[in-house]
């Protein structure tokens, strides 16, 4: 593995451990030339995926790009990094298991929206605003009212049945 700081080929693995419920291996590495330390991840890749954009442009699937967009949507929402990593791994597994090497950007976006909706409604709306290209406040209003109808339909329990929460969000 080449050092990201000095580009030397002389790096050593200092520590390895499984992450993401055993779906990846996290390796801490050290450069023998400059002494820099960095982390790498090793994951199973079933097939090379290519994303086909709406314009027809094709580009290799980039897990890091997906991670960055999800991190923007979930910023300051208090969602654990592990939850986000598992969500992204699940999306990638769905794409790889789909049987096709070419996946549409719309399909990737739909999978992300579905996963975010299950994790956090605010992150879901944030991602949707970019993915669906909201241009006016009306777009948000229509989307949020649609979401509110969905949420009210899936929550049959009354607020009195919900567990009490302490001010810091912990159960009391």
The whole-number pLDDT of residue 136 equals 85
Residue, of 120 and 163, whose pLDDT is higher: 120
Tell me the per-residue pLDDT of 101-141, one tens digit each, with 9 for 90 and over.
899 999 999 999 999 999 998 998 889 888 888 888 888 88
The 3-state secondary structure of the chain, one letter per residue: CCCCCCCCCCEEEEEEEEEHHHCEEEEEEEECCCCCEEEEEEECCCCCCEEECCCCCEEECCHHHHHHHHHHHHCCCCCCHHHHHHHHHHHHHHHHHCCCCEEEHHHHHHHHHHHHHHHCHHHHHHHHHHHCCCCCHHHHHHHHHHHHHHHHHHCCCCHHHCCCECCCCCEC
pTM: 0.63
State the average pLDDT over residues 4-23: 87
Tell me the per-residue pLDDT of 63-74, one tens digit each, with 9 for 90 and over.
999 999 999 999
The whole-number pLDDT of residue 150 equals 72
CATH 1.10.472 occupies which residues in the chain? 46-153
Fold of the domain spanning 46-153? Cyclin A; domain 1 (1.10.472)
């Amino acid at each position: 593995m080449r050092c990201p700081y000095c580009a030397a080929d002389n790096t050593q693995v200092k520590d390895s451990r499984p992450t993401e419920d055993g779906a990846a291996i996290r390796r801490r590495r050290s450069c023998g030339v400059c002494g820099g330390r960095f982390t790498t991840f090793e994951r199973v890749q079933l097939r090379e995926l290519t994303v086909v954009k709406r314009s027809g442009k094709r580009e290799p699937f980039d897990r890091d790009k997906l991670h960055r967009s999800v991190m923007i949507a979930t910023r300051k929402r208090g969602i654990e990094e592990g939850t986000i990593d598992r969500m992204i791994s699940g999306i990638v597994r769905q794409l790889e298991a789909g049987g096709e090497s070419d996946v549409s950007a719309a399909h990737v976006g739909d999978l992300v929206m579905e996963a975010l909706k299950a994790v956090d409604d605010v992150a879901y709306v944030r991602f949707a605003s970019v993915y669906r290209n909201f241009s006016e406040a009306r777009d948000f209003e229509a989307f949020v009212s649609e979401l509110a109808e969905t949420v009210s339909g899936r929550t049959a329990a009354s607020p009195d049945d919900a567990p009490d929460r302490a001010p810091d969000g912990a159960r009391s």
